[in-house]
Structure 1
Amino acid sequence: MAPLRSLERDYPIIDSNFQQFCASHGIFSAAHDKGNENCELWAGTQILSPQSIVEDLLIHDLYVLVALAEQHSTSERLKQGITQALSIIDGQHQPWLNGMELLEDAQQNKHVLSTGCESIDTLLQGGLHEGHLTELVGPSSSGKTQICLQAASNVAKKYMGGVAFFDTGNSFSPKRIAHFISQSSGPADKEANHKILQKLMSNISCHSVFDFFTLLDVLHQLKSNLRFQTGGQLRLLIIDSISSLITPILGGRGSHGRALMISAGFLLKKLAHEHNLCVLVTNHMVGGEGGITKPALGESWKSIPHVRLRLSRDHGGNICEMSIIRHPYMASGKAARFMIS
């Protein structure tokens, strides 16, 4: 996690006193386990992070928490901390909108970005929609990373937009990106092509993210940066793969992992909506009933992405098929076949 003091600059009322109050009553015991990555050691005392407080507030009795706070000499400040945490929760959800407001939002400042693959763009009526969280589901070696890399290179070149690629398993390949860019380059001398490649590669930033709590940190940092972005606007955020980060926190029977997963999903949707981003994440497949495979992350996750796409690949071949599992504008089951090299 980021240093606690840096988080307290955003939420000063959720200070060490408030967090110690929570911990002393065992309200957030799920995050107290020794070695848990969602807590910190600060001044010799185990302290919960604000993210942990917000998540656990969702599943605890607030009336009991307020009653416990009133027994302390700093009760007013503690109750203000509870109110602040609830406001953070409220801020993570979109406001209520009527049908006309939703239509206007869909029509304004929401573009479609080409993936660089004609068949996929035709299937998706142009490509990836800004403001949407799109999930690409498929088994290992089905071509998920290739599509992510191709989309990244195409957005960097065609739209001169910024791309953030969160690499969770050393899948990012700058050589592959350079290959896609050079494939679509027009005739020019070697030196000119090299300058173009340098410029376009600089539009793509890669971040190594190997655990869920690092993901939360990087997303919150990205959220702060987007408030003040100038020049080359970020157009595409890719997480390959999100399931490899979330699966480890879902173990056990408790609801804490699922609450964290849902919070991350809403944060991604909030980033997409507020900053007109295309957010593309990949997910792997797991075994289901009767040996039929299904997307990982379970029932709690499947309703979060705006768009869910399934990818498969012919055994031993280079022909892929993409089908629509869910899309707000298109019928489920539509599919397209294409070749990858």
Structure 2
Amino acid sequence: MPFSPNFDEELQTVDTFWRFGGSRGIFTADKAPVNSPSLLEASTNDEADLRASPKGTNRALAMFESKCLRCMNGLQLLDDALKNKRFLPTGCGGIDILLGGGLREGQLTEIAGPSSSGKTQICLYIASHVAFRLCGSIVFLDSSNSFSPTRIASIVNQICRPADKEVHDRRIKMIMSCIHCQSVFDIFSLRDALHELESTLNKQTIYNGGKICMLIIDSISSLITPILGGKDSQGRSLMVSLGYLMKQLADEWNISVLVTNHMVSGGGGTSKPAMGESWKCIPHVKLQLSRCPGSTICNISVLKHTSMVLAIAREAHVLHEPNEPIMEL
């Protein structure tokens, strides 16, 4: 298992730093001058713990920083939503209608579903369609070697069909250059990738294809569930902290974050999204994907939506043909 050999020690250091800072009214990274001996000397025991693991200190700072969310009044929030948080159409007509226009920038959307239900295919299709519409660059974090450049090329070839072959080939190359894939195989490589993305956004670095408008993580549950076992809450704390960091990136930089999650047994023969109650409050939008046995029809239901009244069940249907792009009904 590709986890840090000092995993338990580093999580304990994170927890120590949280308690140490909180007891002194330090809740933001800019108020925690960890390079200053005066802060560390405030507590002999905590000082020893923090000096023993610089990586743990850096991780704790990252978590402090992830809590630094902007405070705005209702009018400012509405203005921000109308001016800066555009919809990114997914290309799947049923999903776009279901969500009122597509995936919203500034929000974290989760697609949960059982194995082989089509979660990865939807991610690949959405990435292709967003790039096709030249909305900006897409960062795709792949945790299970599921990203397929040939599949992307096939989808792009389907939705981009100018008559002139030279124009066609040039357009395909441009679209595919907008999608940037990085492999992540444990919770720490995910954390590092998120902070690398944050650094890129802070520097206003422009990827090929323009400003970053979307982050896709497929699948986030395969990275997080291994640290959630047992009664220890440190794994859950790390999960929630990374969730807040993703929401912060989405809100501050007006990007849409899309993650996939698998299903687990919910008792009584039912199933539910993995990662438990601590994660449940993180996504702004939760979608559940299902498919009838032997059918190519995928059903997508809205489980949670911060901008939608869910008194009436809402569902979309997506047709998934084997080895073909996902198409709307």
User: Which of the five TM-score ranges fits, normalised by the shorter chain?
Assistant: 0.7 to 0.9
State the shift of 1:155 in Å.
0.8
State the shift of 1:97 in Å.
3.0
Q: What CA deviation, in whole Å up to 9, does each residue of 1:202-247 have, x standing for no partner? A: 1111101010000001110110011123441011100000000000
Distance 1:139 1:104, change over 3 A: same
Task: Give SS of 2:204's match.
Answer: coil
Q: What CA deviation, in whole Å up to 9, does each residue of 1:243-298 have, x standing for no partner? A: 00000111121111001000010000000001100100000000012121011000
Distance 1:180 1:257, change over 3 A: same
State the shift of 1:61 in Å.
8.8
For 2:5, give the aligned amino acid.
G
State the shift of 1:88 in Å.
6.0
Query: Structure 2 CA distance, aligned partners of 1:59 and 1:139?
Result: 38
| Total equivalences in the alignment | 291
Query: Structure 1 CA distance, aligned partners of 2:61 and 2:155?
Result: 46
Query: Structure 2 CA distance, aligned partners of 1:157 and 1:202?
Result: 11
Partner of 1:308: 286
Alignment of 1:293 with 2:280, yes or no, is no
Partner of 1:337: 317
Aligned residue runs from structure 1 range 1-341, under 5 A: 35-37=5-7, 48=10, 53-58=13-18, 63=23, 77-79=40-42, 89=64, 92-231=67-206, 232-332=210-310, 333-341=313-321
Task: Give SS of 1:108's match.
Answer: helix
Q: What CA deviation, in whole Å up to 9, does each residue of 1:14-52 have, x standing for no partner? A: xxxxxxxxxxxxxxxxxxx9923476xxxxxxxx5xx87
The structure, 1 or 2, with the larger RCO (C-alpha pairs under 8 Å, 6+ apart) is: 2
Query: Structure 1 CA distance, aligned partners of 2:174 and 2:157?
Result: 13
**Is the Cα contact below 8 Å between 2:160 and 2:172 reproduced in 1?**
no
For 1:173, give the aligned amino acid.
S
Q: What CA deviation, in whole Å up to 9, does each residue of 1:296-340 have, x standing for no partner? A: 000000000000001111212210111110101213331111212
For 1:36, give the aligned amino acid.
N
For 2:159, give the aligned amino acid.
S
Task: Give SS of 2:84's match.
Answer: coil
Partner of 2:31: none
Query: Structure 1 CA distance, aligned partners of 2:307 and 2:38?
Result: 50
**Is the Cα contact below 8 Å between 2:110 and 2:259 reproduced in 1?**
yes
Q: What CA deviation, in whole Å up to 9, does each residue of 1:41-100 have, x standing for no partner? A: xxxxxxx5xx87444433569659x9xxxxxxx655534989996796265242333322
For 1:212, give the aligned amino acid.
I
For 1:92, give the aligned amino acid.
K
- Is 171-180 or 188-197 further displaced after alignment? 188-197
**Is the Cα contact below 8 Å between 1:37 and 1:213 reproduced in 2?**
no
TM-score if structure 1 supplies the norm length? 0.78
For 1:221, give the aligned amino acid.
E
**Is the Cα contact below 8 Å between 2:144 and 2:185 reproduced in 1?**
yes
Query: Structure 2 CA distance, aligned partners of 1:108 and 1:189?
Result: 37
TM-score if structure 2 supplies the norm length? 0.81
Task: Give SS of 1:94's match.
Answer: coil
Distance 1:86 1:115, change over 3 A: closer
Task: Give SS of 1:286's match.
Answer: strand
For 1:201, give the aligned amino acid.
M
Larger Rg: 1
- Is 224-233 or 139-148 further displaced after alignment? 224-233
Distance 1:303 1:160, change over 3 A: closer
Identity %: 50
Partner of 2:54: none
For 2:316, give the aligned amino acid.
A
Unaligned runs of 5+ in 2: 27-36, 51-56, 322-329
For 2:133, give the aligned amino acid.
K
Query: Structure 2 CA distance, aligned partners of 1:63 and 1:164?
Result: 38
Query: Structure 1 CA distance, aligned partners of 2:117 and 2:227?
Result: 25
Query: Structure 2 CA distance, aligned partners of 1:34 and 1:115?
Result: 37
State the shift of 1:142 in Å.
1.0
**Is the Cα contact below 8 Å between 1:250 and 1:257 reproduced in 2?**
yes
